[in-house]
Structure 1
């Protein structure tokens, strides 16, 4: 895998690890509320708090998958493409159902990776 593609995957992994941190560690913080356009009081509700933590673990596993693909496996590009396609699908769904900006915020790096992975 080229250095550019590897860097994009690493940056994407860091983004998803940060989302994990917000959703799982700092679930009901003001920063999390601001990031997701919610109220701290809402994030303190048990069911929403648990859902956020669950979603955070999902995001951490995506980050770990990207790092695994970038550094461990011999099929770096193929596995990275698969994960980036998955991220793009989830971001597109979020963009359609929650807020259109999610597509760019969560899927932008994956779009860039996918385009470059077929060109480089």
Structure 2
């Protein structure tokens, strides 16, 4: 169970590194326009670029926090800190689903929920 929990939490971290890349370095691409459901012209505006870079940075912090909890923190505290970062992602996914797009709960929330449950059970 521990291996499955670690793998799933790592996949969630990888997903958030991808989101970091998309929002910070590729926010005005066709991929971003499709992912966020907005016109590419809007994504090219400096204000939106700044907002996306900020969001991307936060997603990167979540990913680094997960990896830190999994591989750096002493074993006695690892599960609790991992669950904290997964809970942050779950809350963000719920909020994003309520305010931006219902798909966020599936794309970002579901993997984090599965990882949270696996870590809890491990």
Whether TM exceeds 0.5 here: the answer is yes
Give the number of aligned pairs.
120
Write the distance in 2 (CA, Å) between the matches of 1:56 and 1:118: 27
Runs of 4+ in 1 over 3 A off after TM superposition: none
Query: Deviation at 1:35?
Result: 1.2
Q: Which has the higher contact order (CA 8 A, sep 6+)?
A: 2
Backbone CA RMSD of aligned residues: 1.2
In structure 1, the residue matched to 2:3 is: 3
Partner of residue 49, structure 2: 49
Give the Å deviation of 1:65.
Answer: 0.5
Under a length normalisation based on structure 1, what TM-score does the superposition of the two structures give? 0.94
Give the 3-state SS of the residue equivalent to 1:99 in structure 2: coil
> Taking structure 2 as the reference length, what is the TM-score of the superposition?
0.93
- The Cα of 1:109 is off from its aligned counterpart by 1.1
Secondary structure, in 3 states, of the residue corresponding to 2:11?
Answer: helix
Q: CA deviation at 1:116?
A: 2.1
